[in-house]
Amino acid sequence: MPDFSAAMTSGQTFTLAGRPATATVLFFYPKDNTPGCTTENMAFRDLHEQFKAAGVEIYGISRDSLRSHESFKAKLGLPFELISDPDEAVCQAFGVMKQKKMYGKEVRGVERSTFVIDAQGRLVKEWRGVKVPGHVDEVLEFVARRG
């Protein structure tokens, strides 16, 4: 996996190589305070304890500012940190920037994607073009099986 450092909520900096020796779920989403992204973040929130019990840390990533992330995190009561990637460096490293159609127009944006990285820093599973309903349950099932 490409190592990276990026600012995240709670005044912290995320470094892939410097994370705790646990499995990590990185989920990329398009934008704070939009319906699908809100639903996805709430699903990770609601299953956070089960992810912790499976020895997994969760981090959400979007191009939103830290200010937006802090507000979004507080509004939803998220127990995990959100990583800010306004220059798209992390999005580019993970190949999640795509041309998409929105209301009939071509736009460049984040393709909703989730990555599971093991305690040794190896990518063990990825989901791209994620549809929100049922996705977080599928991720939890995968990490619990790997246990």
The residues annotated as belonging to the active site are 37
Residue-by-residue pLDDT tens, the chain, 147 positions:
778 999 999 999 999 887 877 899 999 999 999 999 999 999 999 999 999 999 999 999 999 999 999 999 999 999 999 999 999 999 999 999 998 877 788 888 999 999 999 988 899 999 999 999 999 999 999 999 986
DSSP conformation letters of 14-54: EESTTS-SSEEEEEE-S-TTSHHHHHHHHHHHHTHHHHHHT
Q: What CATH number matches the domain at 21-146, 3.40.50.300, 3.40.50.2300, 3.30.360.10, 3.40.30.10?
A: 3.40.30.10
As a whole number of angstroms, the distance between CA 91 and CA 83 comes to 11
pTM assigned to the model: 0.94
